[in-house]
């Protein structure tokens, strides 16, 4: 923001910040620049991450909210990022995150109506007990103040959150590591507007900000 203010002052030393803010908002609305953080912009039109929410996931979320109406719940599918991978997985996981202390209750409830449900599983547990020919549902803890968004009245993680989780939870997302993770990150930035402050704030909530910052912003080319 200071760089933009300095740029305008070169041509008009009396220009006001309110005028510059108005001009910036106009450029954003016209798709010339996009916000990627507080006071941070880059060229290009704003491209919001809007994954396709299946009817199955929507119904599953609504069942959970009906059973646990006051619980913070988020749902997403690893299929959402598979399109950006080099090696497409043969199966996908549905990730359901709930506030701390409620994981077991949600696990037992879902186990009564669904197969292939696991609570914070290790790779060994999934290898031994998961049916890879059927959808896998994984229950895990939802980090406080995690960035979420609403799609069809369903809470889903923002792309910033998904990227951080893929980097941090290497065991759970073992199929999404290595060159595939690099490809996911590169394509995520190419086709979507990623808010740096949102991403790093969540990484800090997970106490992994240095790791995530190094992995994603090491060269600032993206």
Average pLDDT over all residues of the chain: 86
> Could you report the per-residue pLDDT of 83-123, keeping only the tens digit for each?
999 988 888 999 999 999 999 999 999 999 999 999 999 98
For residue 180, give every residue at least 6 positions away whose Cβ sits within 8 Å of its Cβ, in sequence order, or none.
85, 86, 87
**pLDDT tens per residue, range 16-73:** 667 656 666 676 555 556 665 565 656 656 678 999 999 999 999 999 999 999 999 9
Judge whether residue 10 has pLDDT over 80. Answer: no
What is the percentage of the chain residues whose pLDDT exceeds 70?
A: 78
Q: What is the pLDDT of residue 48?
A: 82
> What is the structure's pLDDT at 217?
85
Say how far apart CA 72 and CA 132 lie, in whole Å: 28
Residue 17 φ/ψ, nearest 5 degrees: -65, -35
Q: Do the Cβ atoms of 102 and 71 come closer than 8 Å? A: yes
Maximum mean pLDDT: which of 1-10, 44-53, 142-151 = 142-151
What does the DSSP assignment read for 149-218? EEETTEEEE-HHHHHHHHHH-TTTTGGG-THHHHHHHHHHHHHS---HHHHHHHHHHTT-HHHHHHHHHS
How far is it, in rounded angstroms, from Cα 184 to Cα 218? 16
Q: How large is the average pLDDT for residues 177-195?
A: 93
Task: For 26-87, give the DSSP string.
Answer: HHHHTTSEEEEETTEEEES------PPPPHHHHHHHHHHHHHSTTS-EEEEETHHHHTT-SS
Q: What is the C-alpha to C-alpha distance for residues 8 and 41, in angstroms, rounded to an integer? A: 15
Quote the pLDDT of residue 47.
78
> Given a cut of 80, is residue 193 above it in pLDDT?
yes
Q: Is the pLDDT of residue 6 over 70?
A: no
- How far apart are alpha carbons 40 and 1 in whole angstroms? 6
pLDDT of residue 132: 84
Q: Is the pLDDT of residue 140 over 50?
A: yes
**What is the average pLDDT across 77-87?**
94
User: Which structure tokens are listed for 46?
Assistant: 């704003």
- For the chain, give the percent of residues with pLDDT over 90: 64
């Amino acid at each position: 923001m200071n760089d933009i203010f300095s740029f305008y002052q070169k041509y008009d030393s009396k220009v006001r910040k309110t005028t510059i803010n108005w001009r910036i908002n106009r450029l954003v609305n016209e798709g010339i620049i996009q916000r990627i953080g507080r006071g941070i912009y880059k060229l290009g039109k704003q491209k919001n991450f809007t994954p396709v929410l299946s009817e199955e996931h929507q119904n599953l979320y609504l069942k959970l909210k009906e059973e646990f109406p006051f619980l913070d719940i988020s749902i997403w599918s690893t299929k959402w990022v598979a399109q950006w991978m080099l090696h497409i997985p043969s199966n996908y996981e549905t990730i359901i995150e709930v506030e701390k202390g409620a994981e077991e209750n949600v696990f037992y409830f879902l186990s009564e109506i669904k197969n292939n449900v696991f609570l914070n599983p290790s790779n060994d547990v999934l290898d031994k007990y998961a049916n890879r020919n059927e959808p896998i549902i994984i229950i895990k803890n939802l980090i406080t103040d995690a960035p979420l968004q609403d799609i069809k009245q369903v809470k889903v993680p923002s792309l910033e959150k998904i990227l951080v989780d893929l980097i941090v939870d290497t065991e759970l997302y073992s199929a999404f590591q290595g060159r595939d993770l690099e490809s996911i990150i590169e394509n995520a930035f190419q086709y979507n507007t990623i808010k740096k402050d949102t991403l790093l704030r969540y990484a800090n909530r997970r106490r992994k900000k240095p790791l995530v910052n190094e992995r994603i912003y090491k060269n600032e080319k993206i």
